[in-house]
Every structure is written in C-alpha cells, then in structure tokens.
Amino acid sequence: MKRSICVVITARPSYSRIKSVLREIHEHPDLELQLIVSGSALLDKYGSVIDVIRADGFEPNAQVHMVVEGENLVTSAKSTGLGIMEMSTVLSHLKPDAVLSVADRYETIATAITGAYMNIPVIHVQGGEVTGSIDEKVRHAVTKLADLHLVSNQDAAERVRRMGEEPASIHITGCPSIDLAADVMQKQGFLNKKEQIKGVGAEIELKEPYLVVMQHPVTYEWEDAGDQIIETLHAIDALNIPTLWLWPNVDAGSDAASRAIRKFRENNGTTPIRFVKNIPPEPFLELLSGAKCLIGNSSVGIRECSYLGVPVVNIGSRQSGRGQGPNVLDIGHDRKKIQQKIELQIEHGRYSSSSLYGNGNSGVQIADLLSKVTFNMGKRITY
Amino acid sequence: MKRSICVVITARPSYSRIKSVLREIHEHPDLELQLIVSGSALLDKYGSVIDVIRADGFEPNAQVHMVVEGENLVTSAKSTGLGIMEMSTVLSHLKPDAVLSVADRYETIATAITGAYMNIPVIHVQGGEVTGSIDEKVRHAVTKLADLHLVSNQDAAERVRRMGEEPASIHITGCPSIDLAADVMQKQGFLNKKEQIKGVGAEIELKEPYLVVMQHPVTYEWEDAGDQIIETLHAIDALNIPTLWLWPNVDAGSDAASRAIRKFRENNGTTPIRFVKNIPPEPFLELLSGAKCLIGNSSVGIRECSYLGVPVVNIGSRQSGRGQGPNVLDIGHDRKKIQQKIELQIEHGRYSSSSLYGNGNSGVQIADLLSKVTFNMGKRITY
Amino acid sequence: MKRSICVVITARPSYSRIKSVLREIHEHPDLELQLIVSGSALLDKYGSVIDVIRADGFEPNAQVHMVVEGENLVTSAKSTGLGIMEMSTVLSHLKPDAVLSVADRYETIATAITGAYMNIPVIHVQGGEVTGSIDEKVRHAVTKLADLHLVSNQDAAERVRRMGEEPASIHITGCPSIDLAADVMQKQGFLNKKEQIKGVGAEIELKEPYLVVMQHPVTYEWEDAGDQIIETLHAIDALNIPTLWLWPNVDAGSDAASRAIRKFRENNGTTPIRFVKNIPPEPFLELLSGAKCLIGNSSVGIRECSYLGVPVVNIGSRQSGRGQGPNVLDIGHDRKKIQQKIELQIEHGRYSSSSLYGNGNSGVQIADLLSKVTFNMGKRITY
Amino acid sequence: MKRSICVVITARPSYSRIKSVLREIHEHPDLELQLIVSGSALLDKYGSVIDVIRADGFEPNAQVHMVVEGENLVTSAKSTGLGIMEMSTVLSHLKPDAVLSVADRYETIATAITGAYMNIPVIHVQGGEVTGSIDEKVRHAVTKLADLHLVSNQDAAERVRRMGEEPASIHITGCPSIDLAADVMQKQGFLNKKEQIKGVGAEIELKEPYLVVMQHPVTYEWEDAGDQIIETLHAIDALNIPTLWLWPNVDAGSDAASRAIRKFRENNGTTPIRFVKNIPPEPFLELLSGAKCLIGNSSVGIRECSYLGVPVVNIGSRQSGRGQGPNVLDIGHDRKKIQQKIELQIEHGRYSSSSLYGNGNSGVQIADLLSKVTFNMGKRITY
C-alpha cells in the first residue's frame, strides 16, 4: 500500500517552497499525496493561492479556514488555536501516514501540535534556520515536535542536531524552493502572460529596468508596521524606477501595512508602482530573476535570490541571523539609506549563483526519502 | 507598580508543584499574583482541584474550560486548540506582565503558544527534564517558546542550555514541589481529618501499613491503558495490603483506565482498596510519607518521594529518562514482577532524603527572581 | 443522482428516535444516507452509542467531538459553539443535499445554525412540541431555522404553523420513535442476551416484576439536580422492587446527578438496583414494555410508552406541556408522593396503546417525503 | 444594587441602532452599562467602529474577536460558533443581569444562544420585522430564544406575539435608530469636519447635490454579489452625480463585492465617487438627510430615512417584506431601471417624516423599562 503524506499549504510563500515536493510525492509510485489548503492561501485578499494550486493540477483534499480576523497579537494566537481544532478534524478524516509542515508560521505549529497529539509523524521542512521575530521561537518549537527534519544546509542540520534531535532523523535535502528557481533558470518562458501580474496601479513594462518589493510586518514591532512601510515607499518613490510591490502577508500588523500602502497610493504617485497580490511561483521567480533589485524583508531574498543571483536590499530585523549569500545587503528602516543600498545593488548588477540553500533537486530527494524512512515516534532528547 | 505574574493551574499535580510559588508571589511586595484555573482542575470528575485552591486562600481571576470530551488522540489536540483560543481571551483581559506555565501538558503548551504570540513573556517551570511519551515533545517545545527557564537541577539546566537557550535566562531554582515536601517533613499534622481522604471503596486505617498507587495512562499506548492498570490491580490484590488508589488524570486513555478500575472493583475485592480522586497537596504528601511504598508511574515518585525518602516502584515507560534517586525501582507491566518489587521495597523501608529536585526553598527563590528579572523577548538560538 | 440526506446523531435518545428513518433512507432507491455521530453518542461515559449504531449496520461518515467538559451552564454554550465550528467543517466536506436534526438539544441547534448559514436545507424532526427548560427555547428556535418540519401529531403541526411556517413545509409523519415501539410489540425477542444490560450494581431478574428509572437533570434547576435524584432514589429504595436505572444524559447538572447516584450507591443498598449506561434501542423498548412502571422525566415515558401502554410516573417539570396519554401520572420531587404514584401505577397495570405520537410507519413516510419534497430556501414568516 | 445590562455591538449599523440606548442605560440611576464590542466593529477593514464608540465616551468592557476570515457560507457558520465560544467566556466573567442583542446577524444569534444556555435573560431589539435572506431565519430564531422583545412598531409586536411569545414580554419602544435621526433633524451641525468622511476616491462637495450608496451582498445570492454591485455602479456612473459609497458589511459575499468595486474603480471613473468605510452615526445621518437619494439595500433606507424623509431606491430582495414608508421605491438589479428610479426620486425630492419606526424617544423608554421589568426565564410558547 502507498504511504500517504499529507502536506499543509498555508500561504503564498509556503506553496512556492513546497511545490516541487508536491509534484514529486504525487508522481512517486510508493507515495500518495494528500493536500490541505488552509490559512491565508484560501483568502482572496492574499491572492487566492488555492486557484494557483488548482491551476497547477493539485486538487485539495480539504480546505481549512483558520484565520480569525483582526491581525493583531490576540488573533494570531486565536488563529493558531482554531487551526489546531480544525486540523484535528481534518486529519482524523484523512488519516495520513505522516503530515508535512513548512517553516515557522502559526499554521506550521498548529499542524505540528495536531500531528504530535494525534500520533501522526510530523515532517518539518526548513527547520534549524535562524531569524528574528516570533518565527524564531515557533520554528525551533516545531523542531522539538517533529519526527523528521528536512533541512536546507549543513548549518541548519547542525543546529537541529544540537537541539537534541536524533542524527538519523535529520536530512540535508536543500530547500525545495530552490528547485523552482533552478527550473526557471534553465527553462525561462514561464512569465508569458500579462494577466499573471494582476493588480492595481501603474502598468509596468518588464522590458525596462524594474524593482520588486516584498516587505512583511514584523510581529514584535507591529505597531510600527505602517511607519516601516512608509520608509520603503519613500525610498522607492525617490528612485523613480518602475516597481512591482507584492502585497504583505496575513500577519499581526498587515492591516497597518496595507493601510499605509493605500494611503500612500492615494496621495502620491510620481513613481510608477503596481501593487500585486499573488503571482504563481515560477512566473514570480522569473520576474524576480529579471529585477534590478529585490527590496524588503522576504526570505525569498535570502533563499531563492541567492541561487538566482538577484541583488537584494534586506530591510530590518526579520531575516537577521539567517545564513545569507553575497547578494544581500542589510539596512535599517531609513528611507535615505534604503535608497543608497538599492543604488549600490543596481550598480553591482547580477551575482553568481550560490547553492547555500540547495542545488535544485530537493523535491526528488525528499519524495525518495519519504518513501523509505522509518518514523521513530517515541523520540527522546539525545542528551 | 507591581509586576503581575499570571500562573495557570491546570490539574491536581500542577497545583501541588506550584503552590509554594503562588504563596510567595502573593506575599511578595513587588509582585501581583493573577491566577487562572483551567483544564481538569475545574472538573468534578478529577476532584475539583479548584475547591482545594480556594480553600488554600487563592481566588482565581478566571476559569478556563478547555477540555473537549473524548479523551482520545483527537480530543487531546482539540483541547490544546481550545485552550489557546480561550487563554488568549483571558490574557487579553488580565494583561499580565508575564505568564507562568508548569511542566509538559497540553495546557502548558497552550499557555506558552498564547504568551508567545501575544508578546507576553513566558516563564517555564520544570523544563529540561526527560521522560517518555508525548510529554517529552511538548516539554522541549515549551522550552523553545519560553523566555525564562526555572529548572529543578543542574542536569535540567544543562539540557536547556544545550537546546540553545541563553544562559542568562536559565535559573536552577529547584522544583517548587519539594517546598511542600519540606514543609510536611518539618511540621507534620496536615493529615488530620478523615474527610481529606474522600472516595469510594474500603476504609483504610492509616495507622496500619498501607500502599499508595498513582498510575496514569501513557499516551502512546493508550489502547493498552486498561490492560496496564489491570496488571497493577492484580499485583496489589495479591499482596493483600490496604491500598489508597489515586484516580488517573484526564488524558488520552484515562477513560479506558477508569473503566478497568471500575470493572475490577465490581468483580473483585479481597484486598481493601480505597479509590480517591483528590487530596489537598500537603495532606497528600504526609499520606505518601507514611506509605510503605508508592506504586505507579507518577512523577511524584521520582520527585517528591526522592526528598521524602519513600520507596517507589515505578512501572512502565512514563518516567523513563527522568533523573531518579535511589528510592526508585523500575519495572514493566507484569503483575508478578510488580508484586516482587513492592515486596523488596517494603523490606528495605525508608530511604534517606535526596536534594536531587531541590531543597525546599524554590518558591522564595522564584518569587525573588521574578521581581527582578528582565525579560528578553527577542531571543535567538545561541548557535 | 440520489439525493443525499445527512443525519446527525448526538445522543442515545436521538438515535432511538431516528433509527427507523436511518434504515428507510438507507434502503430508499432515490436517497443516500450520510451519517454524522457526535456529542455524547461518542463518549464511553454515556455508553458509546456509536458502538450500537455500528452494530446496527450503519457506518458513520464522520465523528464530531463537540462536548466541552464541565457540564455547567458555560460549557453548554461552549459546546454549542464548538458544535457549529466542527459541523461546518464536516458539512463542507460531505456536501449533503439536506441535513436532518432531531428534537431540541444543543447539538440540534448547532446543526440547524450550520445548515442555515451554509445554505443547506434543514429538516427538523419533533418540532412543535412543548416542554419545560431550555429545550423549549431551543426547539422553537430550530423551527424558525428549519426548512422542513416533520412533526409527531396534529397539535405539533398546528403550533409550527402558528409560528409562521409555510403550511406546505409542515408534515405530520408521526414520531419515528414509535416505529421501533411498533416493531418491538409485534416481534418481541430483541432482549435475548444478558450482556445487553451491561452496568454495575445488583443483578436484575427480568422474569420478576421490575421498575425502570430514567431521570435527567433539568437545566434551570441544575444546582438542585443532585437533590432531585435523591428523592427518586429514596422512593425506589422504599418500594423494594428490583430496578434498572439508566444513567443520566450529558447536560448541565449531569455531573451532580451522577455524583448523587454514586454516593447513594456507596451508602445504601437494600433494594437491588442496576445502573446501566446504554442499551440498544429495541432491547431497551422491550425491557420497558415489560416494566411495571417507568419513573423519571424522560420523553420516552410520554412518547414510546404511550404507544407501548407502559405506566409512567413523570417527575418534575421537564416534560410539562408536552401532550401526554392516559398512561402518565405527574408528580413533583417528593419521595413519598413519588412512591405513592408508582404504587398506583403498579396497581393499574398496562394501558391500552395510543397513537398520540404516531402509528409505526414514520420512517417509511419520511424517506418517501424526502425523496420527493422541494426545499424552499428563501422562506418568510407567513404573516 | 444596580441592574447590569450587557450590550453587544457587532458592526457599524448595530452601533447606530443602539447608541441612544447605550447613553440612556449609562445615565440611568438604577442601571449599569456593560459593553462588549465584537465582530466587524473591531476591524480596520470595516472602519474600526470601536474608535467611534470610544470617541463617543463609551469604554468597552471586553472585545470579542469572532470573525473567521473567508466571508463565505462556511465561515459565516464558523464565526457564529466562535462567537458563542468567546461570548460565553466573556459573559461568565462580566456576569450581567441581562444581555441585549440587536437585530438579526450571526453575532446576534451567537449572543442569544449564549445567554439562553447560560441562563442570562436575553433582550432582543428589532424582532418581529420581515426581510429576505438568512437574516429572516436568524431574526425569528432569536425571538424564540429571547426573554424580552423591544420592537419597532405595532406590526412587529403583532408578529412576535403570533409566534407564541407572552404579551407581557413584548414592548413597542420604537427603533432606537430613530432617536439619532430625531437628534440630527433637531440640531444639525454634526457633520462639521472634513475628516469625518475619510475614504478613497474623488473629493465630494456636500454643498452640491450628491447621492449615497449602501449596498450589501445578499447571502443566498452571494456568488452574484459582484454582478449586483456592478449594476448599481453603472447606474451611478450614468447619472454622473457625485456619490458617497459606503463600503459593504462583513458578510458572505462581501469579498466579492469589494473586489467588484475595486475593479470598477481601477477601470472607470468619469463620475466622482468617494468610497468610505465608516462615518460616526450622527454625521452619517446628517449626510443622509442632505442626500438627493439613498441607493442600495440597507435597512437605513427603510428605517432612518422614513423618519428623515430621504428618498430611497431600494435594490433587490434584501429588505423585501419589511414595512416601508412612501419614501422608498423598490427595483431589481438592472442598471437602466435603477437609474430611472433614482431620477424619479430626485425629481420628487424630500418626503414628509414618518413615525413608522419610532418617534425619537426609544432610548429613554428602553432604559426605563429595563430598570423595572421582571424577566420570566422559564417561558413557554403561548399555544
């Protein structure tokens, strides 16, 4: 009988990061893919990622609504609780042989807790990395709840091991997000339709130089989320280069961020900016690979862009601590300095490709591993 | 202004383990105690621990119902989710300066997640210990979510540090459960009323030799919970020594355990056994200190009994891995062998007191520390 | 394509009342049965009704845990809320053409609200009746949420119509509980195995005269639930006739009732009483039909016993208002008076059968109706 | 001791409708006001009504987050369930003597169910009215759960009585929304600041003729919500009169509606339209009273505008059935016909004031009544 692996997709970035794994599980003769789409991936306001998933040929086995409106500190906790309650109902119906959870969001820990209590092996992808904010706590807590660790690189593996996990449960598979980046670098041609860049604001001509911005609110500073966005908006406005701006994630503070963006949009506008909610993963990576610079605090800058060689200006504390390649320049929330760093990066141009986060075959490795691995459910700390 | 510390009590054992801390916070000039009573501590079926808490002079600021009936793997997850949802409402009302969570149950992680997302410092008592079952995963995950670690001994401190926590956030305070044991050893006279040992079954005469049993279901083996209890029941029945049997905890498997006990009670009965649900902490420790042997898998055998010097027969895997003193003999679920180990312990008699889990002043140390400590909310793993 | 009807079973009595409908839907060529088992029907402590359901050949499509422990006023509300959350997840998965809800409990209104908001036609069985307690409010609120009303008799139909429901949506089908009573009266022989009357306490010999007690706590008087049970216990004890006592329902107050029963059991006992949690529907009705008298406040006394002709002593306010046959004598919570009424009923003996609640073919009528009816979802009050 | 009345505000319209009651309860010597702000009233996306409430001098005793994101049929049910769970926690903390719930939304029934199960008297304002959509079911179900009915007019009173409610529990107090309309008509001058009409889009000059649009999605047609909005947008665009457009409510379908509006905004724009999320109640009524016509399906058109004499074009089925004054013209979702009706209304101009929904002193009447009334908790249907 096939071993069933239940993958939980919760947001735009978690889909991009796991898409190649979905494909390889789906095609593996000894595995059966179960797919739960949940959290902000279901919401129109974050670009209805579920439509992209379906367009890619994956039909969800269940949809889990778990986001309590408010996007403040209380509702983040409440959404985690709701996620556990809903996920336990769905998992008791799907009865997977293992459940796979990505990274470090509240949906991730909701899945991990549910699996742990329901005695379903928990597979964690992207453990052992270091960042700021609440994600840092959540990521390592998920490591302690997980039974199998599929990490991006040696550094991450080392950290997971030092936290007391069994060496046999830790596997360096690279980050599956790099698989898509590799596809895009090899094939190109994914970004072939105008309508892939839906959104509002100015029309951007991709043959001309352009920038991309992805800036999420940082939990510990959520009241400042609006102010931080404003700094970046002014930096972009001063540069006067056409810009694609990806709408922030659902997170404490994202309402504040959205509000700041909307206000700026109404009252400013010499620089052409297009605000977009969602682009399918490969076209998005192709778009990034053509950008003069990525600005913001998305882990895409650290991860996929290191492989793509795209220059990145990484703002604020959100990614600090995560191992980064030469393509990244760090800076604080200061419009002048952000502008300067962007100018430096434009001048430098493309970087050479780094395999810091993988070399493009994670999906194949992971599916193969999942078809063979033995889960040890009664794990103990190793010291 | 006083710093407010919110303590969450969820069950009979967590109350015993934290009672001296409640008292010391309550009496500390710079601290304000906020008390949430929750989980099985509210339920009549587990002895209405809330009545004991009130009788001790502590008035709860809030009661949180969070146990979803069923006591199986699905409802354990669901109760955790409900706990987070409820706790977030209550904490947003109480607005404590920090929240304190004990040990490794689902209420513990519900509290830790809520605190982490709500940006309230999380204080964890009894981290860094090692045991079997789901508790092991939960305990270490709570460590990764917590901002301050108050541990029992050097071993536990070392483990927490190795998991990547800042040395400055780790304090060896001893386990506050030992404070009550010390009180009982010094003063005696707590167990002065017949009605403290409410329950059903035979009357037990405490001047004669007697045994105490505390055996909880083990999650990973919950379907066997009934069978495991039956082995112990037969061992006790064969010894024919009057026995006080503490009713099992709310946990996956506890329905099965209760059913096994009820069935045994209906159909057997040469050995006088009294089944009791709840005894206030100090009378209970005095009762233990007078027992010929404690049998079962409660951490009380490892912890308080090491200080009290009470002989313990520890059954099965639930406590394996936790540092134990010479007073403990381990054994599997086999009625014959359990009986033999009990006979060995009766023959040996009282052990000398060990300070493996503290020396009786944890409450004072902890309150003092909480009045002064600075919480570092933006923690990172140390490697 | 078959029309799918989702039936929600939540407790022992709701199963008995709907069993013939399940059977007839299951066997109807144009209908597909979907079965959700939920609430106390899943709990061992209330007799694991789900095992009986499976033994009868019905396999649940989903199990919904929704009971928050505590059994007080707060947790009744909370269980209703949890029921809606869980039911919405399950119904969005099962996608039935209509959902059927029975009577007047919190699971009933949870189902009705979920159906109403999800735009799934709601079928209500047993609307339009009158009783005391919170059930009264809930039953009529469910009527206002339902799209199709399958009522027991002319009285109930008239009440539903007067509440402003479309005449075309109201059908007098009789109560399906009477179908089982009719089966039992015609065939006998259902109660053929000793093990059907599992429980604790005295052995009862069914060839000798015996009584049956079913007494549930009444919400508005839940603090008195224990005292009320005590009166009945003393009345039974004074009569000294062997008695089968059915364990109370999950409801606010049922913990108090259980405690009172347990205490009485420990300290009394000249009269042989057997306490049982659950008996499958037909054996139970056969047991009732052989009893000298049914005592308590169950609607079974009003409903099935009017058809079976079993004498009933109906205690307290729980059933007051509901149309009753000549077989019922009403009395308050007074041990002496209860005893006298039981003696009167024993003297009178069996009553002749009444068709006040149906004539035994409800299941067939209902299935036939459900295969043909058109649901009008945009209903308005008729005045 | 003062009698405490807990009022639950859940959205912009429910605040406007109950504001005068809040004020009168607050100022009544025998009453104590408890205020819960909940649902969309907490959300920035619906204009943060809580800020308006605070600015009016009312400090909430609790905030209840209960909206599960998604705004589809499943999440409407789920939000109701979450509302009950949260409300029960908050009410068990506030312990009011009665709880007041307004109208017919999911928060309304969540409050009513919670009160009913917790044995807290439920006061319902605006029962007995008739409309289309799910609101119709919910409103009458709330009537059957409520213990006191404060209705707008004789028609509504008659309907509540016919549903089987005790005459003594029904009081014609008028609708408190009319109190504010009366204030505005007498005093004027509430709309004195530009910033009261925050929003995006064109600047509207209130000295020139202008229209107001309020159009909510209708649940039973939620997939058509976008199309319906489009018809109205085109009608307005064709008229070329400056327009203030109030953002739709949180409801199944409101995402679709918002999306349609956003799309229209991006691609059209000869007619000046300003989109606003929230205006405090009195300035809003003053704004309405100056409008040439109100267009859409808000009950404000039926209710407040009948008193204000403002011409209304009422679109679609949402308000059908509700008693309406001569100021209202009904029409379907057809851009041409909508345009014609608006032109008719502009030609007609102001209507004379009607007291169909009250005469401006509901707040005083209600507070007086609440200070004296005896709640009968054990109600029965009257027939």
Tell me the pLDDT tens digit for each residue of A213-267.
999 887 555 567 788 888 999 999 999 999 999 887 655 556 667 777 777 776 6
Q: Nearest by CB to B90, from D82, D85, D89: name it.
A: D89
Mean predicted confidence (pLDDT) in A320-337: 93
Q: Is residue B172 within 8 Å of B357, Cβ to Cβ?
A: no
- Write the ipTM: 0.90
Cβ-Cβ contacts under 8 Å, A141 against chain B: 141-142, 144-145
Residue B144: name the closest of B156, B133, B128 by CA: B128
Task: Give the pLDDT of residue A330.
Answer: 96
Residues of A in contact with D247 (CB under 8 A): none
Q: Determine the distance from the C-alpha atom of residue D18 to the mean position of all C-alpha atoms in its chain, rounded to a whole number.
A: 9
Query: Average pLDDT over chain C, rounded to whole?
Result: 90
The CA-based angle A225-A231-A236, given to 5 degrees, is 125
Pick C93's closest partner by Cβ from A62, A82, A85. A62
Within 13 A of C363's CA, how many CA atoms are on the CB side?
22
Cα-atom radius of gyration of chain D, to the nearest Å? 20
- Together in a domain, A204 and A339: yes
Q: D residues 160-219 near A, CB within 8 Å? A: 200
Residues 6 or more apart whose CB falls under 8 angstroms from that of C289 comprise C181, C184, C185, C308, C310
Residues C102, C122 contacting (CB under 8 angstroms):
no
Instruction: Please tell me the predicted confidence (pLDDT) of residue C62.
Output: 95
Q: To probe the interface with C, which of B10, B45, B69 has the most C CB atoms within 10 Å?
A: B69
CA distance C199 to C196: 9
Q: pTM of the entire structure?
A: 0.89
The pLDDT of residue D134: 85
pLDDT tens across A17-58, in order?
Answer: 899 999 999 999 999 999 999 988 888 777 788 999 999 999
Percent of the residues in chain A that have a pLDDT greater than 90, as a whole number: 70
Q: How far is CA C369 from CA B272, C28, C146, C158, D199, in A?
A: 61, 11, 16, 19, 53
Same domain, B66 and B196: no
Amino acid D194: pLDDT: 67
Give the pLDDT band (50/70/90) at residue C236: very high
Domain assignment present for D380 = no
CB neighbours of A335 closer than 8 A, spacing ≥ 6? Answer: A231, A232, A234, A235, A238
Residue A268 has a pLDDT of 66
Residue B250 has pLDDT above 60, yes or no: no
Over residues C204-227, mean pLDDT: 81
| pLDDT tens-digit readout, B7-27 | 999 888 889 889 999 999 999
How high is the mean pLDDT of chain A? 90
Are C65 and C146 in a shared domain?
yes
For residue A93, give the nearest of C62, C82, C85 by CB distance: C62
C residues 260-289 closer than 8 Å to B (CB)? 262, 266
Amino acid found at A331? I
- Does A167 share its domain with A97? yes
Q: Which residues of B touch C69 (CB under 8 A)?
A: 40, 43, 45, 65, 67-69, 250
Instruction: Tell me the residue type at D294.
Output: L
- Gap between the Cα atoms of B172 and B174, Å rounded: 6
pLDDT digits over B160-184, tens only? 999 999 999 999 999 999 999 999 9
What the block records as the tokens of C356 is 């006040």
Enumerate the residues of chain D whose CB falls inside 8 A of the CB of residue B82: 85
Identity of the residue in C44, C65, C74 whose CB atom sits nearest the CB atom of B65: C74
Residue D383 is assigned to a structural domain of this protein? no
* Structure confidence at residue C185 as a pLDDT band (50, 70, 90): very high
**Is A70 close to D259, i.e. CB distance below 8 A?**
no
Residue B46 lies in a domain: yes
Quote the pLDDT of residue B131. Answer: 85
Query: How many domains does the structure of chain A reveal?
Result: 2
Top pLDDT among B132 and B333 is at: B333
Range from A107-116, A281-290, D108-117, D131-140 carrying the lowest mean pLDDT: D131-140
Average pLDDT of the residues of chain B:
90
Closest Cα partner for D281 from D151, D173, D181?
D181
Residue A381 belongs to some domain of the structure: no
DSSP B106-117: HHHHHHHHHHHH
Q: Residue B109 domain-assigned?
A: yes
Assign B329 to helix, strand or coil: strand
- HSE of D373 in the Cβ direction (CA atoms, 13 Å)? 25
- Helix then strand then coil, in percent of chain D rounded to 5, is 50, 15, 35
B250 or A72: whose pLDDT is higher? A72
Spatial contact of A272 and A243, defined as CB atoms under 8 Å apart = yes
Do C251 and C219 contact (CB within 8 A), yes or no? yes
C189 and C128 in a common domain: no
Q: Does residue C195 share a domain with residue C49?
A: no
Longest Cα separation, chain B: 61
Residue that has been written with the tokens 């609110």 in this structure: A217
Note which residues in 35-94 of chain D have CB less than 8 A from chain B: 62-64, 82, 85-86, 89-90, 92-93
What does the buried/exposed string (b/e) look like for D109-127 if buried means 16 or more CB atoms within 10 Å of the residue's CB?
A: bbbbbbbbbbebbbbbbbb
**B243-246 and B211-214 as β-strands: parallel, antiparallel, unpaired?**
parallel
Q: How far is Cα C18 from Cα C4, in angstroms, rounded to an integer?
A: 16
**Cβ A262–D65 below 8 Å, yes or no?**
no
If asked whether residues B97 and B199 sit together in one domain, one would say no
Phi–psi pair at D95, nearest 5 degrees? 45, 60
Q: From chain C, pick out residues whose CB is under 8 angstroms from the CB of B266.
A: 200
* Domain assignment of residue B331, yes or no: yes
Residues lower than pLDDT 50 in chain D: none
Residue D250 has a pLDDT of 56
Packed helices A225-239 and A335-348: angle between N→C axes, nearest 10 degrees: 50
Q: Is the pLDDT of residue C368 over 60?
A: yes
Spatial distance between the Cα atoms of B293 and B232, rounded to a whole number of angstroms: 13
pLDDT given at position B259: 72
Taking all residues of chain D, what is their mean pLDDT, rounded to a whole number? 90
Q: Is residue A342 part of a domain?
A: yes
CB B320 within 8 A of CB A380: no
d(C-alpha B19, C-alpha B179), whole Å = 9
Task: Give the domain CATH number at B205.
Answer: 3.40.50.2000
Q: What is the pLDDT of residues B256-279, one digit of tens each?
A: 677 777 777 766 667 888 888 778
Taking CB atoms and an 8 Å cutoff, what residues of chain A touch C36? Answer: none
Q: How far apart are CA D218 and CA D318, in angstroms?
A: 6
Same domain, C293 and C364: no
- Identity (one letter) of the amino acid at B85? M
DSSP three-state, residue B10: coil
Report the SS3 class of residue A201: strand
Which residue in chain A is spatially nearest to B129 when comparing CA positions? A381
Distance in angstroms (rounded) separating the CA atoms of residues D46 and A239:
34
**Sheet with strand C293-296: strands edge to edge:** C200-201, C273-276, C243-246, C211-214, C293-296, C312-315, C328-331
Residue D197 lies in a domain: yes
User: Is the domain of B170 the same as that of B203?
Assistant: no
Please state the rounded mean pLDDT for residues C348-366. 95
> Residue B99's beta-bridge partner residues?
B6, B122
Task: Assess whether C146 and C234 both reside in one domain.
Answer: no
Claim to verify: residue B198 and residue B61 sit in the same structural domain: no
For residue C51, the number of C-alpha atoms closer than 13 Å in the C-beta half-sphere is 11
Domain that holds residue C152: 3-175+358-372
Suggest the residue from C84, C151, C222 to mutate for an interface test with chain D (most D CBs closer than 10 A).
C84
Same structural domain for residues B103 and B188? no
Look at residue A339 and tell me whether its pLDDT is greater than 80. Answer: yes
